Chains A and B, each alone.
Chain A
Amino acid sequence: MFCSLLSVFTTLAIIIILLSESWGFFQKVSLWEFLTDTQWTPLFTNKHFGILPLLCGTLLTTFIAISVAVPCGLISAIFLSEYASQRLRNVVKPILEILAAVPTVVYGYFALLFVTPLLKQMIPSISGFNALSAGFVMGIMIIPLVSSLSEDAMHAVPHGLREGGYALGAEKIQVALRIVFPAALSGIIASIILAFSRAIGETMIVAIAAGQQPRLTLNPLVPVETITAYIVQVSLGDTPHGTIEYKTIFACGTALFFMTFLLNMVSFKLKKRFQEVYI
């Protein structure tokens, strides 16, 4: 019983620590300024505390990652669930899982020292740190998450529905896209939302490859800074306990926590729903 309640304590501890330290932050900086100021310069003498640039960097890398991971993940999920033989599935799935098991610091190295130079040959104006290569590599990392969760959802669709389709003379692709895909939709959307949450919270890839310059831009070719990368940047420096710079990481952490918390809850509810429909 105690062990099970430990998880509740953990959540409580996260919320208490985030809120209590952010409380100190928001006594010096108004919530309005935090949410609307367009500059983030807490480490300079002319301090501005607007989270928008960090949020913008986070969303930019997230959208790049999602636009890689969701199409690739969904197509490969449909392929593995409807087309591939059992043998191929048994070989490919563990290898795809390795893609998710590679430590993120390794992906950071790969993005910075392999993908960025490669992109530089195609787009000479790209800078050494950029959102594009970090987002792309992050997308590759998230493919297994989307593909395996979506495949589970499609696998759970009862076989009778497929047979009904075939009986009406449908081809495999029609069965896959018009019967199985819609039937598994809530599970698939749950996996996409989870992918968003993972991309928003991803830290090391963006800290290494996306740069450390908070700026309000949608240009994927210049350095940006995400919320997570900022937390790492401050933690690496020797910021004294109790200062406003120190408290910014708790304020950023609070923002990050609530964003991912919301997405996780929605995803969890959707997943529950599709489980209830077919079991």
Chain B
Amino acid sequence: MSRASASIKAYDKLFQAAGWFTTMVGLFVLLVLFIDIFMDGYKRLSLDFLTSYPSRKPEQAGIFSAWVGTVWIMITTAMIAIPLGICSGIHLEEYARKNKLTDFIEINIANLAGVPSVIYGILGLGLFVRFMDLKRSVLAGALTLTLLILPVIIITTREALKAVPFSIREAAYALGATRWQTVRFQVLPAALGNIMTGIILALSRAIGETAPLITLGALTYIPFLPKNPISVSDQAPYVHVSAQGFLDPFTVLPIQIFNWVSRPQKGFLIDAAAGIMVLLLITLCMNGIAIYLRHKFQRRW
């Protein structure tokens, strides 16, 4: 063997080691991050922490209004974003003809997916808070996040539909199904697993979003909850349904964390770490479910 090829072999080994190393750097940092936050925050994590309102005293502060706000925002966002995203994906992939307009829409969606989230906050501030006069409400926040995650949902829906082979559609047409019947009963069920995966990932991204909601003007100190949509009383008609909660002000977990991180007192930093543990738990669970679904529905056609 010549010297040149021996040294190339050495380079090869060296590069492989470097590859291992850099790939592990990312995983290592992730591990350090988890340990650091756990060490800082586990002391504060208790039932009290989950059921207390924010307070001026770090030992009494909790994330009650924050996580309830997060739940409100996420449910509202999901109710608006999922139908819109799936409809749009189906339309673009199954119905729309390929022409200048759909090309334009496609470029547009790809571009929207890359717009910084803080710009969506400015959009929400101008459009929902000021122009539509929704104030700094749950609805304004949810609509802003809807616009933020819509491109992601549309793109993953289209990819999921694209993965369903054409022969399935042709078989349905051959049996006399209309286009809608084909999509509704064949293509959509086949693609549903991948669509769900994309939606869960999009929602988990929305849970962690802080910047757009801050720009919207979401408050950092909220010692009350949005009004329950369904309340029970002992007077007729006993069950009240109210949409007032959607128009109430709100805060969410990441904003509460940000608020605590930017304070100088050590106690609030511990609160922040404990809040982060809750937030991370939610995001990791959602990602875990998404990865599981992806594996479960991974089908080789």
Contacts and interface: CB of A to CB of B under 8 A. Distances in A.
A3 B81 CA distance: 10
Interface string A238-279: 000100000001100100110011011101100000000000
A51 interface: no
Interface stretch (B17-25, B52-60, B233-241): B17-25
A109 B121 contact: no
A79 B14 CA distance: 12
A72 B257 CA distance: 30
Contact of B273 (A13, A109, A172, A197): A109
Contacts of A14: 115, 119, 122-123
A79 B210 CA distance: 34
Given A98-B284, A197-B114, A103 B210 contact: yes
Interface string B212-248: 0011110010000000000000000000000000000
B72 to A, nearest CB: 18
Given A78-B19, A106-B33, A231-B122, A4 B279 contact: no
A92 B122 CA distance: 36
A122 interface: no
A101 B87 CA distance: 26
Interface stretch (B103-111, B163-171, B174-182, B187-195): B103-111
Interface in A96-125: 96-99, 101-110, 112-114
A17 B126 contact: yes
Interface in A130-169: 140, 143-144
A103 B118 contact: no
B147 interface: yes
B26 A10 contact: no
B88 interface: yes
Interface string A73-97: 0011011100110000000101111
A221 interface: no
Interface string A48-91: 00000000000000000000000110011011100110000000
Contact of B150 (A10, A207, A208, A250): A10
Given A10-B150, A101-B287, A232-B211, A79 B111 contact: no
B258 interface: yes
Nearest to B83: A3
A167 B214 CA distance: 58
Interface in A176-190: 176
A4 B208 contact: no
B117 A203 contact: yes
A173 interface: yes
Contact of A75 (B19, B85, B205, B276): B19
B127 interface: yes
A4 B97 CA distance: 13
Contact of A235 (B9, B91, B121): B121
A78 B12 CA distance: 12
Given A109-B276, A110-B37, A256 B23 contact: no
Contact of A232 (B29, B84, B154, B215): B215
A16 B96 CA distance: 27
B11 interface: yes
Given A1-B91, A10-B147, A83-B19, A106 B276 contact: yes
Nearest to B5: A171
Nearest to A208: B261
Contact of B123 (A17, A102, A268): A17
Given A114-B36, A256-B119, A76 B19 contact: yes
A246 B201 CA distance: 34
Given A98-B30, A143-B26, A203 B283 contact: no
A176 B15 CA distance: 10
Given A249-B122, A253-B118, A204 B258 contact: yes
B123 A13 contact: yes
A198 B115 CA distance: 8
B27 interface: yes
Given A7-B154, A105-B257, A112-B261, A203 B118 contact: yes
B26 A79 contact: no
Contacts of A194: 114
Nearest to B91: A4
B138 interface: no
B254 A105 contact: yes
B204 to A, nearest CB: 6
A201 B19 contact: no
Contacts of B117: 201, 203
B84 A6 contact: yes
A191 interface: no
15 contacts: A3-B87, A7-B88, A7-B105, A84-B23, A101-B283, A101-B287, A106-B257, A110-B37, A172-B12, A173-B15, A174-B8, A204-B258, A207-B211, A231-B215, A235-B216
Given A80-B23, A194-B114, A235-B125, 18 more contacts: A7-B151, A11-B108, A21-B126, A75-B22, A76-B19, A76-B26, A92-B27, A104-B210, A109-B37, A109-B273, A109-B276, A140-B26, A143-B26, A173-B8, A204-B210, A208-B262, A228-B118, A249-B215
